[in-house]
Structure formats: structure tokens, C-alpha cells
Amino acid sequence: MNLQHSIHIHARAVFYPLLLTLLIGCGGEQQSAATQSTAPSNQTIYEWKMVTSWPKNLPALGTSPEYFADIVEKMSNGRMQIRVYGANELVGGLEVFDAVSQGVAEIGHTGAYYWQGKIPGTPFFSSIPFGMTSYEQDAWLRFGGGNELWREIYAPFNLIPVRGGNSGVQMFGWFNKEINSLDDLQGLKMRIPSLGGEVFRRAGGVPVTMQVSEVFTALQTGALDATEFVSPYNDLAAGYHTVADYYYYPGWHEPGSTLETIFNKSAFEALPEDLQEILMAGTEVMNQLLLDELTAKNNEALRVLVEDYDVQLRKLPDDVLLELRRISDDVVLELARTDETTARIYESWKSFKDGVMNYNRIAEEALIEARRLPDK
């Protein structure tokens, strides 16, 4: 039985009852402490390392890998034990891909767009400016051919990629000056990665790629004028409101960023089949958990930022958004022309996006508009 077929059988027959049991048994709460092994003494215990691109205790992004490790240990009856390392504990946050590829760690939790320099098409498996939302992106990966293309481009690096969470629509970020026009972006130094960074550069800004753990100090010292990160729940925990005054939306650069769980392919395929399926099921639980937590917590965190800390919440002017969208279209088309493989990824992504947007005009978009109609 091959891995793909096995996963599909598991998803239909095992995953959903298992998920319900997990949510009831774990109370839906994240647990960082590993449980004591209950594996029978005659069975092999696998002790694996998981490296991430996030600070260890960062809400959602940093704590979800701990939750993943905990439920995998429970589901495997102690046979699979995973120790989670935050950014810079074992390797740097931007070294996760290489570390897992080379076997320094067996699992990584990170973002695919960080590896665009190695594989041009990786942003499609994370987030594209003005692209798909979280559930649209998830649907493309699972049912639109995205997963197959993702595994194809990671295979030469001895890696198996799986979705491992989604941020939902992000905030554009934190600024130390107001943005009233495109002129205000000129020369602005902003931490913003991947394609969003290239769009920002063409709009006149200065994009900076920097791992999360370094951003606060860079803003504090003036090495950065602005930064994007995630959304209010994470941003409040990171403390950016203490070093920047203005908080801008919408997050056009990351409308639904998929996080990735990557496995060392050799180590994964050497596991017994049941442990392979347990790991895959664990990533699916983490994928939904992370988005659910952010969705549940963002509004209260935003209220705290605005009401308790007097953060200046601002919407980007329409003319700025329109120009950023125009530039984004150019950047994505140029990326699609990089090589034949990236072109195939783009065509799959674009075809799915067009179709799901067509339906959403009479579904989510129409409902949101209806909810905003004034009472008579």
C-alpha cells in the first residue's frame, strides 16, 4: 500500500473519529509537556527532533508544534516521542529546511516561502499576494492537486511537506509613520518576506528578510521602520505595540498563509506504517487547531491593542491597495515564467483560485454583504 493511498483510507475511516476523541480527551487545549511513555517494553521507541521557525512559546505558531508532539505521543502509545526546538535552540529559524533535509532533525515547522531561493515555486504553497484565503488554499492543497505538486518539488531534497496550520488573513503590519499615499512607502525599511517583499520593493520600499526573533530589537533600534508578522493575537504577544504606533490592514501580502510541516523523507519512510499515519493525522489536527486558535483569539487581542494600548488602527488607502495589487499581478506572472515546474504550479493554483472565487461571489462574499445591510 503506497503512502498516498494509505493516507486517504486513514482520512475516511480513522481520522474524524480519532479527531473527536482527541478534542474531547485533550479538551482542545495545547499542552507543552510531553507525557510519560506507556509503550510496551518490547516495542521500538522513536525519539525525534522537531525544529521550528518560531519562538518557543509564541501563541499558536510556537505552541501548536508542542501540541502536535503531545498528541502524536498519545496516539502512538508512547512509541513516537518528539522534542520540539524553537528558533535558534538547535538551528536558526531560517535554517529549518536544510536541517530537516540533512537529518539534523526529522521534522520541521515553518513556512514554504522562505525557500524560494532554493525552489522558485514555494510561495504558492504558503501565500500569494491578493491570493487565496485559508480555506481556499487548504482546499487546493487537498483536492486541487496542490499536495502532489508540493511533494514533487520537495522530493529532491529528501523532504515530505504537509500543511501544518494557516494564519488566515493577516494584518499588513506595524509602522512608525502613517501611510497616506505611495509616497509614504518610499525608502521605508520593512521586514516583509517572499513575494510580498518584492511587491513592496517595486512600490518603493526596502524589504528586509529577518527571522522573527530579531524583529523586535530591529524596530526598537530603528534598523527597521516597519514589520509585518501575523495578526493581533501573535502581534500582541510579540510586543510590537511597544515599539510601533500604527497598525495597518488588510494583509494583502498574506491573505491565507499555509504553514508547513516537513518530514525527513528517509526517516519517515523507515517508520512502521501505523506511525506514518499517526504523524500525518497529527499534522491535520495541528493544521485546523492553529487556524481555529487565531480565529478565536484575534478579535479580543485587537480590542486590547486598541483600547488598552491606544494603538492607531489604520486601513491602507484604496489607491495604495490598487497599486499594490497591480504590482502583485506582475510579480506573480513573472514568477510563473521562471521554469516549467513553476509554470505548472501556477496554472494549477490559478485555475483553482478562479473557480473558487467565482463560487464565493454568491457564497461567502454575498453573505458578508448581507450581514452588513442596515436594519430598516
pLDDT at site 38:
55
pLDDT at site 39:
58
pLDDT at site 40:
61
pLDDT at site 291:
95
How crowded is residue 334: how many other Cβ atoms within 10 Å of its Cβ? 11
pLDDT at site 41:
62
pLDDT average per 10 residues of sequence, the chain (376 residues): 41 40 41 44 90 92 96 98 97 97 98 96 97 96 98 98 96 96 97 95 95 90 95 95 97 96 98 98 96 96 97 97 98 97 98 96 95 91
| Nearest alpha-carbon partner for 163 in 48, 64, 88, 22 | 64
How crowded is residue 317: how many other Cβ atoms within 10 Å of its Cβ? 14
Q: Domains in the chain, ordered, with CATH?
A: 3-166+256-295 (3.40.190.170), 173-254+312-371 (3.40.190.10)
How crowded is residue 295: how many other Cβ atoms within 10 Å of its Cβ? 15
- 337: exposed, middle or buried (Cβ count in 10 Å: 0-12, 13-18, 19+): exposed
